[in-house]
Amino acid sequence: MNAKRLMRRSLAVLLMGWLTTGAALASERWVVLGGDIAETLAALDADINVIARDDTVVHPPAMAELPSVGYLRQLSAESVLSVKPDQVLAAGHAGPKEVLEQLAAVGVSVEIINAPPSLNAIADKVRAVGQLTDRRDAAGTLADTLNEKLDRLANLPALPTTRAMFIMLHSGLTPRAAGSDTAAHSALEAVGLANAFAEMQGYHSVGAEALARQAPEVVIVSERGLAAMGGEAALWQLPGMALTPAGREQQLIVIDDQALLGFGPRTPDQLLTLRQDVEALLGAPTSAQANSVQNSSVQNSTAQNSTAQLSP
């Protein structure tokens, strides 16, 4: 009898501990820094405590509507503390580092998910977020699924050698071409395209002479970037673009740059979608099968007059 009572008391204590822990977690206030971390939280159904974000968090829509504490790499302690967080979940490139140290110094729990900007690190990032949010099983399943999609992409037949230009553009900035050592370069390589500007590193403006010399056959740009440029007609009017095979044939693919280049859980599907779009544009046999709704589109429309310019 005493043994049964002891067992019941032990179970009661355990249950109370679980309930107390659950209540504490439910009442915590989290700030997420980094679009890839935000998307991973959402994919693991672990975003219920998120009350604020940084400017790079644009997906999912519900999280994008939360208050922003500033730009990922230019944060201030005052801005983050203004939302009274208990915990900060940050991508490794969030900063400045001194700001994160200031937050920790005043009692905010700061968890940094360090991962190299590579496709191979996506699954590790998912597992790390799962560990921090007690979603280990879901994270393991998601990581395996993402790796399977990347493996499928890597094993697709080689495309005909095709030189591509990835244009990065945000509102108010000059259009820049992606060189090597960029997320865009990794994406081009992953789908089987040759980066026409691989000889340079990073994102740089290129002039008409460089465009004619490198002769990209396909242009890839984000939907946001194309809108900021003034539309497709403005793109084809960029100095030197008419001298390229892409400009003459108006070979354009529009993508969701956040999904494709964020190296989060949406990236593998976006890569498969991009591969499908490239195959359709080149008339190659379709072999990539994406499992999500396509977020990019192939466009081949007539050029119109515009005054947009690409800096030399």
Q: Indicate the domain borders of the chain.
A: 2-151, 159-299
What DSSP character marks residue 266? T
Which DSSP helix (H) or strand (E) runs through 78? helix 77-81
For domain 159-299, the CATH class is alpha beta
Nearest to 164 by CA among 203, 212, 215, 208: 215
For domain 2-151, the CATH class is alpha beta
- pLDDT at residue number 311: 37
Tokens representing 259? 């999904």
The strand pairing partners of 180, in sequence order, are: 201
- pLDDT at residue number 50: 98
Q: How far apart are CA 276 and CA 274, in angstroms?
A: 5
- pLDDT at residue number 288: 56
- pLDDT at residue number 27: 79
Q: What is the mean pLDDT of each run of 10 residues along the chain (312 residues)?
A: 52 46 65 97 97 96 97 97 98 96 97 93 97 97 98 96 94 85 96 97 95 97 93 95 96 96 97 97 69 43 36 36
Tokens representing 284? 């190659």
Phi, psi of 253 (to 5 degrees): -125, 130
Cis omega before residue 285 (within 30°)? no
- pLDDT at residue number 110: 97
Q: What is the pTM of this model?
A: 0.83
Instruction: Judge whether 2-151 and 159-299 match in fold.
Output: yes
- pLDDT at residue number 165: 98
Reading phi first (left if > 0) and then psi (alpha if -120 to 50, else beta), residue 150 is in: alpha
Q: How far is CA 64 from CA 42, 118, 122, 188, in A?
A: 12, 24, 21, 27
- pLDDT at residue number 203: 95
- pLDDT at residue number 174: 83
Q: Which residues contact 310 (CB under 8 A, 6 or more apart)?
A: 174, 175, 205, 206, 207, 208, 211, 238, 239, 240, 241
Residue the block writes with tokens 């026409």: 196
Q: Which residues contact 207 (CB under 8 A, 6 or more apart)?
A: 239, 240, 310, 311, 312
